[in-house]
Chains A and B, each alone.
Chain A
Amino acid sequence: AQTVTQSQPEMSVQEAETVTLSCTYDTSENNYYLFWYKQPPSRQMILVIRQEAYKQQNATENRFSVNFQKAAKSFSLKISDSQLGDTAMYFCAFMKRGTNFGNEKLTFGTGTRLTIIP
């Protein structure tokens, strides 16, 4: 079974600064996908960014980028020029790619609560 670990329960950063959220995972699979989801106070889960394990290039979405280190099984999220609207819980998630749908489910970490300070 896959496990996802987020070792930072809470973080805070000043507005406009850069912050990095950590995520590590444990798997014996070679073909998989990694995701970062954001859950603001409204509790709506929003997909932030997605990485395919077979791609070496790190994914980027505007101010959000990842540092994907496959050998180290690390998948950190960097938020640049942080904004007040970035205040949220952030969840790292893993999905194995296989031929059996039953094995291809999102497994989530425990989350990091990020607060952007004005």
Chain B
Amino acid sequence: DGGITQSPKYLFRKEGQNVTLSCEQNLNHDAMYWYRQDPGQGLRLIYYSQIVNDFQKGDIAEGYSVSREKKESFPLTVTSAQKNPTAFYLCASSIRDRFYGYTFGSGTRLTVV
């Protein structure tokens, strides 16, 4: 079955360390997105990519970095510059006609201690 796989489901890191969240899709979707979810704040866009080797900042990109070397993969790195990294992170993808909405992964809960 096609879908989006995010790993790991839970991630713990010490403060000051960089950490990379994985997102892989086998839907042959062109576009991919990273959202951050915090209680009471809904989903906020971190980065998005329309095609391989191209990506743009979303609304809260500071302290994050991404790459898009393959169509199927869009990893997110949470750097030590992100002041409050503990959150739930959701990856999503869409076909070129993205007006039908996004398909989401099951998320990664990152806790920084």
Contacts and interface: CB of A to CB of B under 8 A. Distances in A.
Interface string A102-114: 1011111111000
Interface size class, chain A: 20 to 34
Interface string A58-71: 00000000000000
How would you classify the secondary structure of chain B's contact residues: helix, strand, loop or mixed?
Answer: strand
A55 B78 CA distance: 41
A101 B56 CA distance: 10
Interface residues of B, number: 24
Contacts of A4: 42
Contacts of B100: 50
B51 to A, nearest CB: 9
A110 B40 contact: yes
Interface string B59-103: 000000000000000000000000000001010100000111110
**Which of A4, A52, A107 has the most chain B CB within a 10 Å cutoff?**
A107
Interface of A: 4, 9, 33, 35, 37, 42-47, 50, 52, 91, 95, 97, 101-102, 104-111
